[in-house]
Amino acid sequence: MTIPFISTNSSLPAVSATVIGAVLIVGLGVTMGSYWTVVALNLFMWIALTQSWSLFSGMTGYISLGHVVAYGIGAYLVAVTFKMIPLWLSIPLGGLAAGLFALIVAIPVLRVRGPYFVILTFGLAELVKYILLYTETTFGKSSRLLFGAPKTEVLLYWVAALAVIATLITYFVGRSRFGKGLAAVREDETAAETIGVPVTRLKVLAFAASAVIPGMIGGLMAMRSTYFDVLQVFNPTISFSIVTMAIIGGAGDARGPILGALFMLGLAELLWSTAPQLYFILLGLFLIGFVLFAPNGLIGLIKRRKQPKGSVS
């Protein structure tokens, strides 16, 4: 296999580790019973979402707080077309619809930076949520029952495959010409465009690309809950969780979102059923701690430890 612009030889260990790791977790999840199947499904869902988020926000530094909109659009498309078109078609279409939506809003939205971008993406996702809620209630469909959805195991295979694909995309884009251009955008847009980086085109492409897999995940997770509810699939908590995992794991490196998702789900497994209050308190403390003391997340801490002593940076 040859991918233009990048050397694939040196990537072999990383690629095989990702695939083998995913296959092992899927195998464990399925053999250990339905509870663990769901845990594995959630893990891969969050990895896929955070990895896709990182493809845009991690690389460009534009923090999107509205990524749930892609998830919701995918879920909506799959729910509306359920039993009308087969899932193998409707789920990719859901991803495509999410990507198309991002492409359309990209130009106006990407004109602002920093806190304004954060607020704008959040607001946009809420806007879409309420428009769809209004449409659905107008047509008397505030929630749709989805009988006959695939088994959790089947959904797990799909979601795990998407998590692997999202991880590999983030990994390869990071080493590509495209990824280097995005890094220049993150560092200094004026300097970037002055040395030839087509800043707007790169941002728009990354923004649209980062919505496709979340759209597909949304479609799959709609199948999982057997009914469709606008407020549930556009729940802003999904956006917040993505950003939290990216911060804790560290964005800008394909390993970061995996660590972030593992960390948060591990914490949830330990505390969620026994002490849900404590879970949120600890989550808040960890978030603050990472932002203040380890802005590059877990992956940043690991890299720092690996560095030879006495090296300056």
Partner 1 sequence: MSLLSIKSLSKNFGGLQALNQITLDVTEGSVHGLMGANGAGKTTLFSIIAGNQRATTGTILFAGQPINGLRPDQVCKRGISRTFQIVRPFAGLTVRENVEIAILYGRQTPPKVSEAAALAQDILADIGLDALSDQPAGSLTLSGRKRLEVARALGTEPRLLMLDEVMAGLTPVEVTDMIASLRRVKDSHGLTILIIEHVMSALTDMSDTITVLHHGEKIAQGTPKQIADNAAVQEAYFGIAEPLEAPA
Q: How far is CA 311 from the centre of its chain?
A: 34
For the CB of residue 302, give the shortest distance to partner 1 in the complex, in Å. 18
Locate all alpha helices (DSSP H) within 54-143, ordered by sequence: 59-60, 68-80, 87-109, 114-138
For the CB of residue 59, give the shortest distance to partner 1 in the complex, in Å. 12
x-or-dash string of contact with partner 1, 175-214, rule CB under 8 A: xxx--xx-xx-xxx-xxxxxxxxxx---------------
Q: Name which of 187 and 269 has its Cβ closer to partner 1.
A: 187
Of the candidate residues 2, 7, 273, 274, the single one contacting partner 1 (CB under 8 A)? 7
Size of the site for partner 1 (CB under 8 A): 25
Does the protein bind partner 1 through residue 144 (CB under 8 A)?
no
For the CB of residue 16, give the shortest distance to partner 1 in the complex, in Å. 21
Cα R_g (the chain), whole angstroms: 19
For the CB of residue 200, give the shortest distance to partner 1 in the complex, in Å. 8
Q: Name which of 95 and 179 has its Cβ closer to partner 1.
A: 179
The neighbour count for residue 42, using CB atoms within 10 Å, is 20
For the CB of residue 174, give the shortest distance to partner 1 in the complex, in Å. 12
Among the residue ranges 52-60, 156-164, 173-181, 222-230, the one whose residues contact partner 1 (CB under 8 A): 173-181
Q: Is 292 exposed, middle or buried (0-12, 13-18, 19+ CB in 10 A)?
A: exposed
Does the protein bind partner 1 through residue 313 (CB under 8 A)?
yes
Taking every pair of Cα atoms in the chain, the longest distance, rounded to a whole number of angstroms, is 67
Nearest alpha carbon to residue 168 among 9, 15, 1: 15
Q: Name which of 126 and 193 has its Cβ closer to partner 1.
A: 193
**DSSP per-residue string spanning 215-281:** HHHHHHHHHHTSEEEHHHHT-HHHHHHHHHHHHHH-SSSTHHHHHHHHHHHHHHHHHTTT-HHHHHH
Per CB under 8 A, residues contacting partner 1 are 5-7, 175-177, 180-181, 183-184, 186-188, 190-199, 312-313
